Structure 1
Amino acid sequence: MEGKIKQYDRSRGFGYLTTTDGEEIFMHITGIIEGNPKLIQAGDPVEFVISPGKNGPQAAKIRLAR
């Protein structure tokens, strides 16, 4: 699945992605498998899968384009 970073808090290691159809998905730093988490900015394109999380769906296997 493709989307973009909506917001990301580097100090806390989590944020939200927006899918191409507008759905908002939780993301955590532990789900990033490719790319530098220190360079994440709102609007950055990403590829990911949605998996069940503790409190609902969340992004996993996140690949940052940057």
Structure 2
Amino acid sequence: MIGSLKFYRQDKGWGFLTIKPGEDIFFHVTDCVDLDPRTLGEGDQLAFEIGKAKDGIRTAAKQVRIPSDGDVVDG
């Protein structure tokens, strides 16, 4: 799945990706693969998988990375 960076809180190590208008998903820096989110800007495209946050309850983006040819846009 591909989304765009809504924002990243460097001091907290987490942020949100926009999947489509009105639908955002949480991500944590520990779920980034070969990627330093501090180097990204709002609107940058990122690929990810959907999984559970560490609390096991909330949905979260996992394996957050720079998109490749095999990644697909939702919708």
Runs (4 or more) in structure 1 with deviation over 3 Å come to none
Q: Who is 1:37 aligned against?
A: 37
Following superposition, the deviation at residue 35 of structure 1 comes to: 1.9
**How far apart in 2 are the matches of 1:7 and 1:60?**
16
SS at match of 1:30: helix
Give the counterpart of 1:59 among 27, 42, 61: 61
**Equivalences for residues 13-52 of structure 1 within 5 A:** 13-19=13-19, 21-22=20-21, 23-52=23-52
Q: Output the aligned Cα RMSD.
A: 1.4
Q: TM-score, normalised by structure 1?
A: 0.84
- The answer for unaligned runs of 5 or more in structure 1 is none
Q: Which has the higher strand share?
A: 1
**How far apart in 1 are the matches of 2:28 and 2:52?**
13
Following superposition, the deviation at residue 34 of structure 1 comes to: 2.3
* Per-residue CA distance 1:28-53 (angstroms, 9 max, x = gap): 00010022222022111100001012
- The answer for unaligned runs of 5 or more in structure 2 is 68-75
Note if contact 1:36-1:64 (Cα within 8 Å) is conserved in structure 2.
Answer: no
Which has more radius of gyration?
Answer: 2
